Structure 1
């Protein structure tokens, strides 16, 4: 069955599991690691701690929500769609001994609060991040990004590249694969009334449905490990008011234009260190796009493949992110070591 038909099934039209369609046996250079058997982390940043940690930066575009942990050089974590900074809790725990780790919520997602008609396009998101760094008096960062956060990271490199010390990209939009064809049916919801009520509200009401491959679970290696609390953390804000529902639709439409092909030349000029870590069972962003990044970014140090993993593996497998980030940053393997 075609991927497009499957994704239509997410909204009540006939569809069936796509698991049998996932590509296997991908080949190419770079390290390969099997998906760890450990599942979504349950560390010290639980949901209560995440809410307690939240701060707001009052910027010209609104109140931007973020969490931070640690001291020293700053690492900025960019979450995927339709998640928020909670996605990075495991990475923040593991990497805060080495960096001041900050995870911000994009405008229109998570807990950031912006005016109803605020510009929430991807270029505006990149500029918001620059304004956040200005507000926090931060000159440069190590960027770590996933999914649509990776799209924004590449725009940030093109617009504010001097502020990027290093770049760690996981599965995300790349060049001509932006948006990926498998995601187009979701984007089309943004052109229709009630996108949040059609896509988000049913998953809030039925968490078991959210964990299936017709809901958020399609992007997780271990969807059964998604807790009710995590689903509410991600989805609750998106349906909390008519204004937030309308912003959800506009965020979807912001993902429709291809913004990456026009910045191809800027990416080719970005010579800072880059690590690429890619799940092989992601239906949206195939490994061939990781290889494109490896060929295109002069500072790339190769592709690490996480076999059997899916799009949101950074949440499920924070040890992989921590290992790659420490290698990229050149820090010691134990807290307290020399940078």
Structure 2
């Protein structure tokens, strides 16, 4: 099967929280599991995956972070630790081992939680410009989004209607400081929360858990990252205005096998802004740390 066909395959799996969609390129190369952030979906990774699928198996789930397609069960734990446990469940259900777990934006929080928990199916970790230490919720974007979680689902939906307008999406309180070139993707990510009341309810449930307790947990998680003695790569946008570049350097220094690569000409969402360069960096890291 050619690379283009592999990257297009989408599947669904029933997990404890509900139905999760995921993209899977197939193939027998090293497995990459690629995680997105709040109000995003698996398409964040389409650019890097189109390149990496030539010699890797790329799996990108759409997690219940506000741009998902299927509402979660009423009793689902939609806190970030709960979503991290859902990722671990996905790894188990798909019987994935020696996974390279990659997270960007809030997806990097999920990766950190699993690193700190010593998830045995994770062989390597890649953190790409993400929340870390006390930077939660991150920047104007994160703080604004968490504040909207105080609204009722109906009022949240009315507030988010503004995101139909490109000029609003490009504001610093929205996606303007997250991506230089990815506006088409951000417009697409808004559709579920604008069109589906049940997704709005899930999004509000999630945002209401994003509080000081989550920040304290993220800070405590950083203290446990030195226990992750496996290959780890930190990739950071030099121009990042939401995730401080200094945090990338601190993360790399904390990790026993950590290394840092800084990338020019992009903001937080490097999979959108620099997909080819990010794919090259990840490929070189996996190849350099692969045990044959």
The separation in 1 between residues aligned to 2:138 and 2:168, in whole angstroms, is 24
- How many residue pairs match? The answer is 281
For residue 75 of structure 1, give the secondary structure of its aligned residue in structure 2: strand
Structure 2: gaps spanning 5 or more residues: none
RMSD: 2.5
Following superposition, the deviation at residue 277 of structure 1 comes to 1.1
Partner of 1:143: 101
Shift of 1:192: 2.4
1:210 paired residue number: 169
2:229 & 2:288 partners in 1: Cα distance?
Answer: 20
Deviation at 1:153, TM superposition (A): 0.7
Greater RCO (Cα-Cα under 8 Å, separation 6 or more) = 1
Contact 1:54–1:65 at 8 Å: present in 2 too?
yes
In 1, the alpha carbon distance for the partners of 2:231 and 2:277 equals 18
CA shift for structure 1 position 112: 4.3
State the TM-score, normalized to the length of structure 1: 0.76
Tell me, yes or no, if the aligned pair for 1:180 and 1:285 is still in contact at 8 Å. Answer: yes
| Pairwise CA distance, 1:201 | 1.9
Specify which of 238, 241, 261 is matched with residue 219 of structure 2.
261
Render the CA deviation track for 1:259-310: whole Å, top value 9, x for unaligned.
Answer: 2122234211101111111112222111110011011111112x22223421
> TM-score, normalised on structure 2?
0.87
What is the rounded CA distance, in whole Å, between the counterparts of 2:170 and 2:223 in structure 1?
40
Deviations 1:130-158 (A, max 9, x none): 11112212133101110000001101112
Q: Distance in 1 between matches of 2:70 and 2:34?
A: 15
**Residue 64 of structure 2 corresponds to residue 107 of structure 1:** yes
Alpha-carbon separation, structure 1, partners of 2:84 and 2:241: 26
Q: How far does residue 65 in structure 1 lie from its aligned partner after superposition?
A: 0.9
Tell me how far apart the structure 1 counterparts of residues 207 and 239 of structure 2 sit (CA, whole Å): 23
Deviation readout 1:160-186 (Å, 9 max, x if unpaired): 432211111111111122233533232
The separation in 2 between residues aligned to 1:92 and 1:236, in whole angstroms, is: 23
Higher Cα radius of gyration: 1
